Amino acid sequence: MLFIGHFSFDEVDVDGRVKHGYFSSIVDAESPEAAVAKFEAHIKKMKGTHKVMDNVVNVYIEEILRIPRIPETPMITRFQSSRGEFPPSVSHALPGVDSGDAEAFGFTPDVERQRASDGHGFVESKPFITFSG
């Protein structure tokens, strides 16, 4: 059975600056308990082997979703709203995935093209869909 885990985490960088973030993970497992055990083992392995996890100090389970079969119509698996404008952040698709098990597709095929011309910042993404309001 397919399980999707949504997690949040605390980070403290080398200068003591505190950050927080979110990630999701997916696994095939026999039960929710088995899925949680696999998620825990994978997160611990990632912490020791992938730079993206270097500064993570705490990981929290937000929720674990059990999906008995792959849906034929799309479903939203997580919706989160925060107060204020979109904060500066860094995002990584499929960190630590080196096999052909998954591919990441983005709205902009070449992320490097999104770098601002001054080389210090990033260009704000254009909306995929805009609703009148």
Q: Report how far residue 4's alpha carbon sits from residue 20's, in angstroms, rounded to the nearest whole number.
A: 20
Domains plus CATH for the chain? 2-73+91-114 (3.10.20)
Helix (H, G, I), strand (E, B) or coil at 89: coil
Q: Mean pLDDT, to the nearest integer, of 121-133?
A: 69
Helix (H, G, I), strand (E, B) or coil at 51: helix
For 6-51, write each residue's pLDDT tens digit.
999 999 999 999 999 999 999 999 999 999 999 999 999 999 898 8
Q: Report how far residue 131's alpha carbon sits from residue 75's, in angstroms, rounded to the nearest whole number.
A: 20
For 67-110, write each residue's pLDDT tens digit.
999 899 999 999 888 888 878 787 778 887 877 777 777 655 44
Q: What pTM, to 2 d.p., does this model score?
A: 0.76
